[in-house]
Amino acid sequence: MALDAVVKDILATSTSQVAEINAETDSEVAGILSEARDRAAEITSRKEAEAESAVEALERREISSAHLELKRAELNLRKELLEQTNVKLFDALSKLSKKNNEALLKKLVEPYDLKDMRVTSNEKNKAFVSSLAPNYGSEIDTIGGVVIESMDGLMSYDLTYETLAREVFNRSLKDVSKILFG
């Protein structure tokens, strides 16, 4: 029976050692799992922060892009309105009454000594301009106004309504923009 007692003693010791090993293993597993959970939570937290930061950056870019697109659309609309204003100006100039047109033409050529100058105008104003200028040149394609040139062609003054209106419009663009857009 002594062998049975030795076997029982070995089994009891083995069972005890197995229980200790299992307890140590369980403890190690619990530690590893706890450490893994902590690392997973840290990684999750870091990734969430990165994702939140990326979302915020994307939102800023999208908002900035939307503002830029809105500004571009506003500028295009302003440009279109200014162009329409310019077209209306040219239309009004082309429809000047005969009296106003002739008064304006007379005022345009007044500062020049026309004896040694060639003056050109559109066909509509040819008769009036040639009565003001002894050297009428030819007809030009314009809504109104005149071009005055020296006989040798070295000096030329473009006093057509289109050119004068464009110059005034460009000089006054800031004021016109304030009036139209506040």
93 vs 122: CA distance, rounded Å? 13
70 and 52 share a domain? yes
For 117, phi then psi, to 5°, come to -125, 150
Same domain, 111 and 85: no
Give the pLDDT of residue 180: 67
Which CATH number does the domain housing residue 126 bear? 3.30.2320.30
CB contact at 8 A, 169 and 150: no
Question: 4-32: per-residue pLDDT in tens?
Answer: 777 777 777 878 888 888 888 888 888 88
Write the pLDDT tens digit of every residue in 151-172: 888 999 999 999 998 888 788 7
Structural domain total, the chain: 2
Print the domain residue range for 4.
1-95
Question: Three-class SS of residue 145?
Answer: strand
Which of 79, 95, 111 is the last residue before a domain boundary? 95
Same-domain status, 89 and 14: yes
Q: Is 88 in the same domain as 11?
A: yes
Domain boundary among the residues 95, 117, 149 is at 95
